Amino acid sequence: MDATATSGFLRFFRDVSDPRTGNFITHKLHDLIVIAILAVICGADGWTRIAFWGRCKAKWLSTFLDLPGGIPSHDTFSRVFALLDPDVFERCFLNWMAAVVELSAGRLVSIDGKAIRRSFEHGWDKSGMTHLVSAFVSQAENRVVFSQLAVEDKSNEIVAIPKLLDLLDLKGAVVTIDAIGCQREVAARIVAGGGDYVLPVKDNQPNLLNKTQPLMNDLVLDHAKGIEATRVGYFEQSESGHGRLETRRVWVSDEVQWLGKDVLALWPGLSSIALIERTRQDLGDYSGKVSVERQIYISSLKGIDARAVAGAVRGHWSVENNLHWQLDVSFDEDQNRTRKGHGAENYSRLCRIALNLLKRDTSIKAGIKTKRLNAGWDHNYLLRLISQ
C-alpha cells in the first residue's frame, strides 16, 4: 500500500518544508498534507470535516502513513496550513502539473482571477478577502489548474499576472486574459516566453481602444458590403440552449500598420486585431428579445485566422463559466470561511489539487460531485486517483 500511495502525485509534496519550530512536533507535515488532500477529494469542506474524515479513516490511513500522534485535530490542520509557505506549496504543485500535463504547441493558457467571497475576518470589513489568480491549461477535452498566486485585492492582479507568466512554459502557447491583463508588460512577457496573446481592449486602455475600434468597425462594414480591398478573416458560429440562440461572429485583420508606428512600438508582437460580436436572442417568450455585444481584441497571432481567435476567446469563457463554477458548486469554495494566515490560499490549492485529480480520471463517466462521493466510498478508486 505504501509504494502505491506514494508513487503518484503525493511524492511531489514530500519535501515541503515544515513551518513549525521546536522539539514537540507531534504530527508529521507530510501526513497532514496527505490527509487534507484525500479528505477534500472525498468531499470534506473545511478543517473540522477534514479532521473528522481522518478519524473515520484512521485504520486505513495507518497502512501507508506514519501517524506518530494519531489523527491531527482540526485546530492543528488550521494552524499548520495558516503557517505553510504558499510559495513553497505552489512550487510543489507546479512540479506535479509539469510532470503530468503535456505542454504541446498550440495549447491554450487562460489566466483569470477569482475571489473567495467569504474569506474575510469581519462582515463589515471585506478588505481581507482572498483573491487568487490562476492559470488554466487545456488537456485533451479538460482544463486543469496549472498554477496560481494570491493577491491582496483585484487591483493587484496586474502585479501578479507577470509573476504567474514567469512560472509557465509558454513556448507555442496562446495566452488569454481578461481586460485587466491587457497591459504592455504582460504582452512583452508572453512574447518573450515564446507564446502568443489574445487580449480584450476596454476602457483601461483608452488610446488603444480609440485606435482599434474605428478601424475594425470600418473593416466589418466593408466586409458586409462585400468589399475585398482589405484583408479580413471571418468566422461565424451559432448555438442554442437554455432558452436562447447565440450567434458569434468574428472578424480579424492583420493590417495593423493603420494603428500607427507609435502604437505598434508600445505593444510587442502586435500582429492582428479582432472584433467579436455576440448576438443573443431569447427563445423562451414571445418578445424574442435580442441583445448585441461587441468586443475588440488585440493579438500577436499572425494572419487572419478568425476561427483560431474565436477558439481562444471561447476557451477563456469556459474557464469563467465552467472551472470557477465547479469550484463554487462542487467544492463550495465561495462559502469557505478559512481566513487565518495563509489558510485560505492553501485550502484553495487543496481544492484545485483535488479538482485536477478528479478531472484527469477517466475510469468512470460521472460529474465531479459524483466522483468525490465515489472516492469517499471506494478506497480502491481513491488510491487510483492519488496514484496518477
- pLDDT tens for the chain, 388 residues long, are 444 555 577 888 888 889 998 888 999 999 999 999 999 999 998 999 999 999 999 999 999 899 999 999 999 999 999 999 988 888 888 888 877 776 666 788 988 877 764 444 444 344 456 678 888 887 555 577 777 777 766 557 788 888 889 888 889 999 999 888 999 999 999 999 999 999 999 998 999 999 999 989 888 887 777 666 567 899 999 888 767 788 999 999 998 998 999 999 999 999 999 999 999 888 766 666 888 999 999 999 999 999 999 999 988 877 766 666 777 777 766 555 565 778 888 998 898 889 888 988 889 999 888 999 999 999 999 988 888 6
115 and 222 part of one domain: yes
Backbone angles phi, psi at 322, to 5 degrees: -105, -55
**Does an H or E element contain 174, and which?**
strand 174-177
- pLDDT at residue number 285: 63
273 and 136 part of one domain: yes
30 and 142 part of one domain: no
- pLDDT at residue number 123: 45
Q: Is 22 a member of any domain?
A: yes
281 and 170 part of one domain: yes
CATH code of 288's domain: 3.90.350
CB distance 268 to 237 below 8 Å: no
Q: Are strands 174-177 and 130-139 parallel, antiparallel or unpaired?
A: unpaired
* Helices of type H across 116-271: 157-166, 184-192, 206-224, 261-266
Interatomic CA distance for residues 50 and 36, integer angstroms: 6
**Does an H or E element contain 347, and which?**
helix 343-360
Domain boundary among 329, 354, 376: 329
Q: Is 378 a member of any domain?
A: yes
pTM of the full predicted structure?
Answer: 0.81
34 and 167 part of one domain: no
7 and 68 part of one domain: yes
Q: Count other Cβ atoms within 10 Å, centred on residue 165.
A: 25
Q: Is 291 a member of any domain?
A: yes
Range of the domain at 217: 101-329
26 and 68 part of one domain: yes
**What is the tally of structural domains in the chain?**
2
